[in-house]
Structure 1
Amino acid sequence: MVAKGIQNVVSYRVPWRARRDQLRPMDFLLRLLYVIEKSGDWAGWEAIVRMAKHRGLMGRLPIELTSADVEGVGSRAVVDGRCEALRQLSLIGRHLGVALQRDNKGEERLNGRLLTIHTLHTLPADHPFRDRYDPANPVCEFDGFAFASIRDAVLYEMRYRGSEVADQYVYQHLDAPRHNRLRELAHQQPPVWKCGTISTNHYAAGDRARVIVLHGDQPQHTFEAHLYIFGGSTFSHARLYTTERPVAGRMGAARFPQTVRVVREVMGADAQGAFGNQLAVAVD
């Protein structure tokens, strides 16, 4: 695990005594070893795992893998037929609140919905994510949208968790500068505001949506806050969520003073551009 750089992501607990629904200890270890050896670089998952922890989906880190996790990866044929990101997700997905399954047609499903994996050959020459294609973590389609990678699709599926802090629509015909800036933020190449944990998906007509983790993907963080941005041709939309516990007796964004401080620091002038005066609250 140290060699793979995943000691901060997963650990394991060998079954002491195999029940009917458990792998025997040696089978557990051999299957876990096989999956980890075949799973490549895990670096892209650590930030997402930390987010999941702040959302209460696990008690502590690293994730302690059990017999159920290892059995969930499927047969060797299934493991061998998946790219690295899917192999990794098959092992830790339930700790992220997402379920990866291969149906009886051999198609992948994420939380029951079709997940189509692209090869470079199946991508059109003008596909918006072709230049960023990574065979270990490939471009995919999910929920009717194209995603830059499998991890992008997982991060998108984890959006809208926690408490809503602010929500704002900006219309092009009413405020073109603010709308254009939000659309730009939805389109620019990562990182955005030095934030690297980002999911990007593409709609029709060049519209894009994005999840940007503003706080909660680093070891020293104590809560998670993320921004959802949609950049369309006629309107833009921004939503801010946090897992910070609300302060009693306050209203609106003032309930989440640590989040407001972080957002102001990370986003700078874009915080006002995205949310108007919704974050103009006292936080001391």
Structure 2
Amino acid sequence: MGYAFILCGTAAVIWPPIDFLLRPLDALPWAQGGIKLLIEGIIKLPVFLLTFVMPFLVVEMVAGLLGEASFIVRAYRQCWVGSDDLGNLLRSVGRWSGLRVVQWIGLIFLECDVALLIIGGICTAWIWSSEEISAQLGEGFSFWPLCILLSVCLGKWCLLTLGELMYVLLLIDGRVGYLLRLLYVIEKGGCWDRCVSLIHYLKHSRLLPSLPIVITAYDLQQVGGRAVSSSRPQAARQYSLFSHRLSDKSARLSRVKGEDHLGGSADSDALTYFSIDLGDPDPPTKRGKYVFSAFTDIIVFLVDKQVTVLTDPLLYFSLRPHLTHPSRLINLPPSQYQLTQDAMLDSGRQWNGCRKAVYWWVDEANVLRHWGIFILCGDKAADEFLVCVDHRLEICSTEPPVAWKRRPDERYPRTAALIRQKVVAA
């Protein structure tokens, strides 16, 4: 509605000079009738279109000169925010006060139709001068612009009313279906501890936009039908609810030809779940020649590769990870480290209170190589940054460095404290 008022005000300022400049056409005998209307239309219509742009260009120019801290600019911004809030308030009152559907539909679309009528009236008045309109209203051919305008307004009103009515009816049915499906996914998801830990790890790795995650109907569609959901372990069901939100496409879970894949392509290796323990919500999973200690550990390794290796420069530079070794943070010999190869080979998923992810490279029945990652910090809600240690004792930390410090243990004091607490034997 505000746009219509700005348009009317600008047109009122520009209209008289344009009409004054076009007065000499009345003295030309050949510029009469349709030719005169054509010339006026060619001149007036571009100027009319400029009225959509000029006010905002002027306002932005004035705002740039005065600065955003100016009282005038802040009042102008707040005025627009207030008008939007007023519209939202009227919509919410119309929806929740028990009014009839048609009443609040009219409340929503009244400003659109009034704006259309104002713009259409300005178009008609600008193409023809006021004297010509009064003289030609009695002739039949001058009624067609008004008829077209009224038809467009009526058609627009009917379509919007019907569409909004169908939306309301579908919204009632869809909201119930959404709640039932969400309840089913949460209940059948089982224990969420491992997946919640993975969510915080992804958040501190900048692969999830933000927390908390607001579950939408589109998220529920990604889980798949009941047959697909029941064929997956609990951790895979939970992960399918938000995997499409990840900025790294290689970590997105998808269903291709009845098999689960990471990356959304049938060219990638399918996932095979091992049900060693029927009560395990996050079972060991095989992907190609690699066997992972758990399904969620696949995502941990994919994210670690993105963070520590320059496979995604944008992610690397946004996190600015610091890669180092315990010897640069603590002055103790490796013989006093309690993080040893035996701890790496242990099949447990926890070590010294930290989450551990392990995978093995298997060729038939032979284990050729193994890798491990220990998440010292970054997989809990209270954590502020990410600290990981791999099987080579290489440390990856996203702790913000302390300015004007040169020594690694002084630039990253909290990481150094974690290494002393977790890696070094007491």
For the superposition of Structure 1 and Structure 2, which TM-score range results when normalised by the shorter chain?
Answer: 0.5 to 0.7
- The 4+ residue runs of structure 1 with deviation greater than 6 A are 176-181
1:198-224 residue CA offsets vs partner (Å, 9 max, x unmatched): 111112435321111101223332212
**Who is 1:78 aligned against?**
228
What's the offset of the Cα at 1:192?
1.9
Select the structure of larger CA radius of gyration.
Answer: 2
**Who is 1:123 aligned against?**
none
**Who is 1:166 aligned against?**
324
The alignment's TM-score, normalised by the length of structure 1, stands at: 0.67
C-alpha separation between the residues in 1 aligned to 2:245 and 2:416?
Answer: 28
| Number of residue pairs matched by the alignment | 227
1:15-59 residue CA offsets vs partner (Å, 9 max, x unmatched): x997xxx99433332322222222111122222222222233446
C-alpha separation between the residues in 2 aligned to 1:181 and 1:135?
Answer: 26
In the alignment, structure 1 residue 108 sits paired with structure 2 residue 260: yes
The one-letter code of the counterpart of 2:408 is: A
Contact between 2:337 and 2:424, CA under 8 Å: does it hold in 1? Answer: no
**Who is 1:67 aligned against?**
217
**Who is 1:210 aligned against?**
372
C-alpha separation between the residues in 2 aligned to 1:134 and 1:159?
Answer: 28
**Who is 1:36 aligned against?**
186
Structure number with the bigger relative contact order (C-alpha 8 A, sep ≥ 6) is 1
SS in 1 for 2:372: strand
What's the offset of the Cα at 1:190?
4.2
Equivalences for residues 202-281 of structure 1 within 5 A: 202-204=360-362, 205=367, 207-229=369-391, 237-250=392-405, 253-254=408-409, 255-269=411-425
Contact between 2:343 and 2:351, CA under 8 Å: does it hold in 1? Answer: yes
What's the offset of the Cα at 1:228?
1.6
| Selected match of 2:195 from 42, 45, 49 | 45
Q: Which has the higher helix share?
A: 2
The one-letter code of the counterpart of 2:352 is: W
**Who is 2:252 aligned against?**
99
The alignment's TM-score, normalised by the length of structure 2, stands at: 0.46
CA root-mean-square deviation: 3.5
Change (3 A) 1:144 1:32: same
1:132-156 residue CA offsets vs partner (Å, 9 max, x unmatched): 6755322211253101221222222
Change (3 A) 1:108 1:252: farther
What's the offset of the Cα at 1:65?
1.6
Identity of aligned residues (%): 25
Larger deviation, residues 49-58 vs 140-149: 49-58
1:136-190 residue CA offsets vs partner (Å, 9 max, x unmatched): 322211253101221222222221434132159xxxxxxx979996422211234
Q: Which has the higher strand share?
A: 1
What's the offset of the Cα at 1:77?
2.5
* Structure 2 unaligned residues grouped into runs of 5+: 1-94, 96-163, 308-318, 327-333
The one-letter code of the counterpart of 1:114 is: D
C-alpha separation between the residues in 2 aligned to 1:210 and 1:259?
Answer: 19
Contact between 1:115 and 1:140, CA under 8 Å: does it hold in 2? Answer: no
